[in-house]
Structures are given as structure tokens and as C-alpha cells.
Amino acid sequence: MLLLIVSLFGLLASPSLALIGKCSQPASDTTSIYDFTLPNIFKTGSIDFADFRGKVVLVVNVATYCDHTPQFLGLNDLQKEFGADLQIIGVPTDQFHFEEPGANGTEIMNGLRYVRPGNGFVPAFPLSSKTEVNGLQEHKMFTYLKKYCEPTDELFYPGLTYQGNKVHDIRWNFEKILVDKTGKPVKRYNVYVLPASLRDDIRAEINKNGASHKLPILGSFLG
């Protein structure tokens, strides 16, 4: 209930929110997320996005000590509900009000387990190592994903820890970018769009081009 109230307050207090941005990549650009890798959270190997060919992918920039960190619970629900048809990837970043101070994978995972969300929480999907999603040192995958997606907010909020704001920048933790089964971004969601409200869009992408099964309609915008 508290998260619902906070989310509704944010919507009312932020009239500039577009909430959902469309993505449109020209056919002349053959780039896809399959061209990129990220170190895993413990830096013991890589998350190779080419391994997710044929799956719908949801890329979410995350942080442990953000007011929106309870969205991890909803992301886990999505991953478990859609199973092998969906791959969520969480990308920790410290570029918004220093809300991911964990110095390494162990600190980040312990923060999630014992502090927020806490209660022994473990992500049901892979996390990368800490990554810059905006600015001069932003990871090239985010440069690509943002390039063809409309921003979900007109404003930049206090607490940014990077230089060089651009209109397509990620605005805060827990933005979400939905990628289709060909590796191209299709929609971008503001932090205030909670994970449960992505179900219909995820299902639609899964069911394109002969998906293995159809899933029941569940949830609502703020579920």
C-alpha cells in the first residue's frame, strides 16, 4: 500500500511524466543487444546478450537503496511468471543520488538480502556489475538502447552523479527497457510504471511469431 501511495504521489507531483516511451529503430541500423556484453555482478564472467536470442529481454537499471527498490519483488514475479520466454537483466548503477554504494557484488547482494528488499531476498534474474548508464562513461549498450527510445520524462532531478545530461538519458533508477525477440528495443518505461503493468506488453512480444504458449491476462497498471 505504501508503494502504491508513493507511486501515485509521484505521478501527481510530476506532470512532465510521459511514463511510456516508444522505441523505433530504422531497418538501416542492424545493431541489436546481441552485440553487447556486461560483466556479471561478481565479475567472474560476462552476461552475453547474444545468449538471449529468441527471448524477450527486459533491461532494468537498479539500485539497492532507492525508494523504488521494492520493485525487485515485482521483477522477480515477472521472471517467474514468464519463465524461459523472458529474460530480465538488472544493471546496478550509482548515478542517481548514490543509491547503489555497494563496492562489489557481495556488498550489493547482501544489501538486497538483508536490507532492501530484505527478508532473504534473492533476485530471480542475473545482475551485472555496477555500470554507468548515462554520461561520458556510459556503457555502449545503453547508448544504443536510449538512442531509439523516447525519454519518459522532461525533467532532470537533483542528485545526479554524472556530467553531460542528454535528452534521452535514463532519469532515475528502475527505468525499464523492453527488447523484442530480435534484440531491438520496443518500449521504455518510467520508474513509476510498476513491473506488473508490463505483463501485457511482455506477453504481446512473447506471442509474436509463433510463441510456444499463450499466458493468461493478469494485473493492472499499478498492480
Residue 195 exposed, middle or buried by CB count within 10 Å (0-12, 13-18, 19+): buried
* CA 9 – CA 170 distance, rounded (Å): 21
Of all helices (H) and strands (E), which one includes residue 107?
Answer: helix 105-114
Buried residues in 1-31 as b, exposed as e (16+ CB within 10 A): eebeeebeebeeebeebebbbebebeeeeeb
* CA 180 – CA 206 distance, rounded (Å): 8
* CA 96 – CA 159 distance, rounded (Å): 6
Using DSSP, state whether 68 is helix, strand or coil.
Answer: coil
In the residue annotation, 149 being an active-site residue is answered as no
> What's the maximum distance between 2 C-alpha atoms anywhere in the chain?
48
Catalytic residue among 66, 133, 149, 179: 66
Give me the residues paired with residue 47 across strands: 38
**Residues taking part in catalysis:** 66
